């Protein structure tokens, strides 16, 4: 059952509800993976950290392979196998030469669908994850992002830490993981994605899938359309959130600061205009307004940036910087001044065109990273049932008006809405 068409991608849905998206590339290297609609926000109250722990354990043995065989399967041919867990998804992916694409696909479905989660391996791997937690706790510039989202989404699953709690992780048993996987790792909650030396017509896609379907018949039986996620939906952007200022005592040389607010969901029509505004304010370029104000003109910080994260029903916008403890107040004032500038009036036509040109160039460069493109393609289909080529994205950016950028900035960058977290 074909679901969607685009000029550079092919998407279809198998009988089980598994969605498949394929994009042809001119390289001999293939990037493929499985995105599972299972993230930290999907954990039950008693399952802290289980989404991420399950990702780790999926590499520790399947019905057909030991952990050593899983590790060596792609490495023996120069390929890579990896995974990550987010708030709304877990993604398993491979990179390899095109001739080994079938090997990668077989391994990915084996790991995702037939892992056994043996208790002995759990007892060893939990200490690896605990070390990961402690390493994260030693990095305030990373930890502050988790603590900031916990403030913005207080009491909601989106505010949970992805890595979970060390004490609770040590209490899990094999049956806990199996119960979680039975609930979350079903074909109708998965997308298989592939960028590589493949053709995008129906016959080529099915030829690619046929050996996998023969080994995993459960992929082609069941309901014909993917089930929609059933989640505790978060309040809309308009519902806002009461801004708070929180200071935490940390044994660090610098102060670390985050200032921000809730933003738009990924499929909100206003998200792209906010994306443009955020790139002007504190994007990756050294010419961003925040970098010019806090580093180039005053030398107060080594790094300052603003980030924009979109979830399926809400988002996060935030400014981060680290500075000497005596400079915190001055840096905060400079950030607020730049926010007020963004909110005061629309961009001139010249400034808007320059911003669009810069952003379009950044996107073109980002699309050279085929691995990230493949993962993004899979996640977009997973969460929004849609596809978007680079050309379509740049075309959408080109159509954004100065008024739309200004309105998004006024709504999200409003200094009166700022939640502030300080590590002092």
pLDDT digits 0-9 by tens, 383-401? 999 888 899 999 999 999 9
Helices and strands in the chain: count of H runs, count of E runs: 15, 12
Q: How far apart are CA 152 and CA 286, in angstroms?
A: 28
Q: Which of the 8 DSSP states describes residue 188?
A: G
**Residue of 1, 108, 102 whose CA lies nearest to 55:** 108
User: What's the Cα-to-Cα distance from 251 to each of 254, 256, 322, 325, rounded to whole Å?
Assistant: 9, 11, 14, 12
CA distances in angstroms from 47 to 138, 161, 167, 206, listed in the order given: 24, 12, 12, 37
User: Would you say the pTM of this structure is higher than 0.75?
Assistant: yes
DSSP 199-257: --SHHHHHHHHHHHHHH-GGGGSS-SSPPPP---PPPPGGG-----EEEE----SSEEE
pLDDT for the residue numbered 145 = 96
pLDDT digits 0-9 by tens, 162-220: 999 999 999 999 999 999 999 999 999 999 999 988 876 667 777 888 888 888 988 88
Q: Is there a shared CATH topology between the 2-220 domain and the 237-423 domain?
A: yes
Burial class of residue 116 (count of CB atoms within 10 Å of its CB; 0-12, 13-18, 19+)? middle
Q: Which residues make beta-bridge pairs with 262?
A: 316
- State the chain's mean pLDDT as an integer: 91
Give the pairing type, strands 19-24 and 90-97: unpaired
CATH topology of domain 2-220: Cytochrome Bc1 Complex; Chain A, domain 1 (3.30.830)
In the chain, % of residues over pLDDT 70 = 93
Phi-psi region of 259 (alpha: psi -120 to 50; beta: other; left: phi over 0): beta
pLDDT tens column, 3-41: 332 336 788 888 889 999 999 888 899 999 999 999 999
Measuring CA to CA, which residue among 121, 424, 108 is closest to residue 248? Answer: 424
Domain boundaries, the chain: 2-220, 237-423
Strand, helix or coil for residue 93: strand
DSSP helix/strand/coil, 287: coil
Class (C level, CATH) for 237-423: alpha beta
User: pLDDT grade, residue 55 (50/70/90)?
Assistant: very high
pLDDT at 10: 80
* CB neighbourhood size of 182 (10 A): 9
CB atoms within 10 A of CB 336: 15
Phi, psi of 84 (to 5 degrees): -150, 160
Give yes or no for a contact between 117 and 153, defined as CB atoms under 8 angstroms apart: no
Of 113, 149, 132, 134, the C-alpha closest to 316 is: 149
- Backbone φ and ψ of 220, nearest 5°: -120, 20
Lowest mean pLDDT among 139-148, 242-251, 295-304, 309-318: 242-251
């Amino acid at each position: 059952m074909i679901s969607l068409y685009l000029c550079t991608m092919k998407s279809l849905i198998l009988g089980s509800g598994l969605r498949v998206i394929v994009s042809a590339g001119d390289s001999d290297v293939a990037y493929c993976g499985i995105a599972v609609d299972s993230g930290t926000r999907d954990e039950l109250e008693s399952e802290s950290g289980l989404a991420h722990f399950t990702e780790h354990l999926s590499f520790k043995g399947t019905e057909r392979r030991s952990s050593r065989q899983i590790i060596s399967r792609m490495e023996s041919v120069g390929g890579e196998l990896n995974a990550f867990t987010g708030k709304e998804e877990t993604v398993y992916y491979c990179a390899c030469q095109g001739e080994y694409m079938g090997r990668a696909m077989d391994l990915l479905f084996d790991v995702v669908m037939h892992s056994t989660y043996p208790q002995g391996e759990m007892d060893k791997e939990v200490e690896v994850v605990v070390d990961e937690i402690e390493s994260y706790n030693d990095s305030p510039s990373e930890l502050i992002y988790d603590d900031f989202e916990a403030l913005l989404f207080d009491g909601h699953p989106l505010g949970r830490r992805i890595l979970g709690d060390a004490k609770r992780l040590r209490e899990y048993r094999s049956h806990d993981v199996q119960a979680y996987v039975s609930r979350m790792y079903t074909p109708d909650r998965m997308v298989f994605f592939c960028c590589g030396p493949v053709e995008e017509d129906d016959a080529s896609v099915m030829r690619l899938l046929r050996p996998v379907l023969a080994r995993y018949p459960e992929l082609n039986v069941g309901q014909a359309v993917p089930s929609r996620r059933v989640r505790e939906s978060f309040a809309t952007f308009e519902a806002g959130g009461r801004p708070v200022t929180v200071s935490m005592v940390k044994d660090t040389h610098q102060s670390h600061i985050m200032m921000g607010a809730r933003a738009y969901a990924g499929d909100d029509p206003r998200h792209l205009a906010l994306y443009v505004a955020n790139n002007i304010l504190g994007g990756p370029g050294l010419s961003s307004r925040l970098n010019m104000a806090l580093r180039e003109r005053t030398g107060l910080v080594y790094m300052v940036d603003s980030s924009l994260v979109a979830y399926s029903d809400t988002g996060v916008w935030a400014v981060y910087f680290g500075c000497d403890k005596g400079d915190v107040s001055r840096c905060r004032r400079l950030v607020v001044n730049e926010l007020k500038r963004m909110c005061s009036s629309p961009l001139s036509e010249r400034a808007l065109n320059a911003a669009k040109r810069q952003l379009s160039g950044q996107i073109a460069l980002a699309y050279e990273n085929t691995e990230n493109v493949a993962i993004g393609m899979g996640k977009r289909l997973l969460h929004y049932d849609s596809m978007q080529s680079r050309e379509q994205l740049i075309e959408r950016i080109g159509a954004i008006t100065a008024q739309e950028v200004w309105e998004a900035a006024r709504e999200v960058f409003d200094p009166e809405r700022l939640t502030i977290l300080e590590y002092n």
